[in-house]
Chains A and B, each alone.
Chain A
């Protein structure tokens, strides 16, 4: 009986996993299809042979490498900005009770709930006024600002969990508050830091609407917007689109799995422990 139950659960689990992987399996099959077999009517389940050359020739089919470089620059810089801004703020929010603290927390929570999509007109008008349209800086700032909340929540939680006595002991020995943070608290909060870094990086990596609106040339355009440019009315090069997509998806999936444990508490702003 017990074995039968376990088996039926495992079979159900296998089907669930298969359903969630369908679009990515189809991506992989298409990326491995020789160019002359992509457009078959009706479609074939598998190509006659797997062709790995798409993963090499795709780099010459357009400014793909440039798009990826732009994505790395934007996501990397946005992550750095979030760290520089969120670490001190989260530390202070975790350690001190002060007037207006509730208001600050409310403001942080609001930024998490306000997706940039709903205010894209305002963002566009602001960056036109600032003369920053089609620059890395605009995309870095927007990605940093709208992903700040997650890091602040996660880090506040981690800092609160580190006993104050440890810090007080170090301060008695003459360490400044800043040095305590740098030498003692941050290393102890390392899992929180890694979660904040990975989450922000992936969110910026996948961002689309703002990049679509604020970029007008391939020089600064990230991959998400770049690949939509490959989808045309005639002869879309699907095998290339999906080869690049997989290159972009696989590393972030692995990173995401590594922070699975902390994701929910960060995204629900600590309302669920």
Chain B
């Protein structure tokens, strides 16, 4: 018994089994599926090489979803980062009631995305939604607007909601970053007569670089993978007008029964994630550290 507990095997095996069985096997299965012809009912009909990829590239919905995904990820992540820098600065300063503001910020983070998105869908409802009532009362619109009825208004709202749910996590990462900056640095800057703006750009921002890069990459991955918000608010519709490559991948498999094409798109999406993960490992210095 003593000998058995000595090596890494008994301590690490359960974890490795779970990782290999449930995380890595699906990766393999996904790649394999992308090279198979699969019937609508899920029967394998043999190896077809890159045929699924060819069909995917001929899919008329792919180009739009691809362009939209880039726009979606860039806009959501950039605005989230900028707003979170402001929020973190605010919440890192002492003021009465600060603790409760932090708690309020945790609510969207802890809540189910499905439920948050459902509430937004309800508030944006063209007939019964509170947003139209507010805008009508303020005189900003003359007639009720069906916000989620077409992509030109629904996609911007999807972006707003995605930023809304990304802000809490990002802000807390930034607060953690701000707290690592030694107070005497600010004291020295003050003694030297540096103005607050100069202090921010020459002390605060440079020392936040790690936090900013880590939060940026985690957000890139999360926003790229975002599914519940789009699914609940527009379902990627009308048609395919608000789909990203993530929701398109899902619809291909589970709405159009194009499992092969869907697997091909999954592999491409997954390759994008791998690039982000590599950047993350570089940003955290993981690849440089001595791990053993």
Contact = CB atoms under 8 A, between A and B. Distances in A.
Contacts of B180: 272-273
Interface in A215-273: 223-224, 227-228, 231, 238, 241-242, 245, 248-249, 252-253, 255-257, 260, 263-265, 267-269, 271-273
Interface in B27-56: 27-31, 33, 42
Interface string A132-163: 00000000011011101000100000000000
Given A113-B221, A208-B227, A13 B90 contact: yes
Contacts of A263: 172
A26 B122 contact: yes
Given A118-B273, A208-B113, A268 B218 contact: yes
B104 interface: yes
B111 A231 contact: no
A256 B110 contact: yes
A92 B12 CA distance: 8
Contacts of B113: 206, 208
Contacts of A100: 8, 292
A189 interface: no
A104 B12 contact: yes
Contacts of B29: 121-123, 125-126, 129
B257 interface: no
A122 B27 contact: yes
A115 B112 contact: no
A50 interface: no
A77 interface: no
Contacts of B227: 117, 208-209
B119 A23 contact: yes
Contacts of B211: 272
Contacts of A101: 291-292
- B: contact size bracket: 35 or more
A263 B250 CA distance: 30
A105 B291 contact: yes
A43 to B, nearest CB: 5
B22 A141 contact: yes
Among A113, A123, A144, chain B packs the most CB atoms within 10 A around the CB of: A113
B115 A245 contact: yes
B232 A16 contact: no
Majority-rule SS of B interface residues: helix
A16 B105 contact: yes
B225 A227 contact: no
Given A9-B93, A23-B108, A118-B246, A248 B115 contact: yes
Contacts of A152: 15
Contacts of B15: 85-86, 88-89, 108, 148, 152
A253 B115 contact: no
B254 A213 contact: yes
A148 B19 contact: yes
Contact of A272 (B5, B90, B114, B210): B210
B173 A272 contact: yes
A272 B214 contact: yes
B266 A121 contact: yes
B39 to A, nearest CB: 13
A20 B168 contact: yes
Interface stretch (B58-66, B186-194, B275-283): B275-283
Among A22, A107, A145, which residue has the most Cβ atoms of chain B within 10 A?
A145
A1 interface: no
Contact of B101 (A14, A39, A40): A14
B118 interface: yes
B100 A121 contact: no
6 contacts: A85-B18, A115-B225, A122-B28, A238-B128, A265-B176, A267-B218
Nearest 6 A-B pairs (CB), nearest first? A102-B291, A122-B26, A122-B30, A145-B22, A256-B110, A17-B104
Interface of A: 6, 9-10, 12-14, 16-18, 20-24, 26-27, 30, 38-45, 81, 84-86, 88-89, 91-93, 96-111, 113-115, 117-126, 128-129, 141-142, 144-146, 148, 152, 176-178, 202, 205-206, 208-209, 212-213, 223-224, 227-228, 231, 238, 241-242, 245, 248-249, 252-253, 255-257, 260, 263-265, 267-269, 271-273
Given A118-B270, A249-B115, 12 more contacts: A13-B90, A20-B168, A41-B128, A42-B132, A85-B18, A104-B12, A115-B221, A121-B249, A144-B22, A145-B22, A148-B18, A209-B250
